[in-house]
Amino acid sequence: MDIAENGSEISFSGHNAVMHRLVIIGAFVASLAVTGPATPAGSKASVGLTDRTPVRIAGYGFRPHERVSVRVAPTSRAAYAKVVTATASGRIVVIFPNRVLPECVGYRLTATGNHGSRATGREVPPPCGIVVSP
């Protein structure tokens, strides 16, 4: 830290400037890890796939303690569903332990809460089995 002779100006340079920024960024990330991002009442719910083996769905923005029905509809396969209760912060996590979504299979997600929250998500299957030659 450099301080001018009159004591009124402080500037960061070199190594100290980088460390100062890293400390600020680290504190911000740590505060998010502890509290999580805010989910204001009335905000739009969101849901997404977090793992394919086993299928794991996570969501946020639901009403506190809302009962949420989560449905997974893989392309060209039978759909399956589960009902979970959102946390006090409106988050959900659903694990389907005996279900797998292969990489070449697309899907559609629907999460519907009993207090009006609703979220959808989908993934179009990527082209699979295509060999690209040089």
- How many whole angstroms separate alpha carbon 32 and alpha carbon 4? 36
If you classify domain 46-123 with CATH, what class do you get? mainly beta
At 124 the pLDDT is 87
Model confidence at 33, pLDDT cuts 50, 70, 90, reads very low
99, exposed or middle or buried, with CB in 10 Å at 0-12, 13-18, 19+?
Answer: middle
Per-residue pLDDT at 116 exceeds 80: yes
- How many whole angstroms separate alpha carbon 8 and alpha carbon 6? 6
Model confidence at 18, pLDDT cuts 50, 70, 90, reads low
Domain with CATH 2.60.40.10 in the chain: 46-123
Residue 55 · residue 29 · CB < 8 Å: no
At 12 the pLDDT is 43
- How many whole angstroms separate alpha carbon 119 and alpha carbon 75? 19
Mind listing the pLDDT tens digit for each residue in 62-72?
Answer: 999 999 999 99
